[in-house]
Structure 1
């Protein structure tokens, strides 16, 4: 119980808690990117549904026994709003049974931790654009998830207790190549570590950097954090290569000693901002 409370306070400390409407709009705009015309994929059997889920980092499927309910048209409208998410729909009885669906349900599937998160019948009866958008926003974790006030909630709710943060300015010339390598490293730790990008060019992210006692001159840097006991370690001025990221993560997982610069520091209580 104490670990859960500390974890929650830690997240409040870093992410400033509640998502404001303005920030929600900003998050949505940044996640959409350039819009292209897309459609919901009709899933008519179990193999096709399994293949659809396996091919996407984040897949949202509407399992509807009745395709005439209002939630169906609302579900279709989400396709254009979330360009980085794959949307499918099925009313096939065998598909619903395979995924333990007993009523109209909207499910989100995450490749990063093999989670299936469900919005069930009672919630769907009163669902609206805002509620469904929020459900998708806060739960859309990718192999590398960019840190923002919406995704922190999904990170907090994940069963994966170790988080790796790359703190780097997205405007830097090395960003694209570094991100490519970081994503490749993330595949090696799928289901074990959540990989997160913290854009150091965003002013609101300064508190994350300072929490790990890092300075601007030490970026790009890696920080690894275990939520259950609040242990952490950092790798300043990190070269973002698959080998370096892998060695850093392996060292933490194997319990190698933390860096001396914070090993002997006394832990101070987290303060809610």
Structure 2
């Protein structure tokens, strides 16, 4: 649980840090400090105490690109007559001051707060609520499409992409990598580790991390860790039996089973890892 809370807080910290970096050299030091302080306060208000990393990601996505927020802040200050860090005449004006000496007390509205007439905003709110309830989950591979848009606007990706997911879930990612490595080792005639094949040992290590993960639910863990074994046993039996042809007998069956079971293990591993990755990338997926 502590790890989940730390991930949520880290998301906020990373976002605010990006905004602060974007404001460096654009806003004066006092304006930058005021901007970051108000941004953090507005995020915490929208976050409403949530410690769920996915909920926090959605909140941050609604704020949009941190660079765009800085640009809006610059325009807002310009409208009030205040000079910014990019203005060589900035001099030593007071913190957060405007042309008339008033301090900046309010953070600009977040994305879509004010855009469009009331009717448009109402329908937009309804559409967003439907998306938040998971209406978009009916679309095929929505999580994978989000990952492919790693450089896109966070509004379009739900605040998640492949790079972000890897940073948020290093152990889960390493487990999937281990499962893939186990499958890739199957064709090689490696010496046994004690009495166990090397691919089986690597698979067991990856499966253990999957089963101990707090990210996937029970069904996801069963699919991800069990698909390789299901492919090896059930797939090997079915395909091996079909390949026997007119050669009855246990020896013929075992020959065909061992001939195809490794390949079926690799196929099962691939399907299991794809499912785990999809569930990890699906920002709307359940966590238990």
Give the TM bin, normalised by the shorter chain. under 0.3
**What TM-score do the two structures reach when normalised by structure 1?**
0.23
Which is helix-richer, 1 or 2?
2
**What TM-score do the two structures reach when normalised by structure 2?**
0.22
Q: Which has the larger radius of gyration?
A: 2
Q: Which has the higher contact order (CA 8 A, sep 6+)?
A: 1
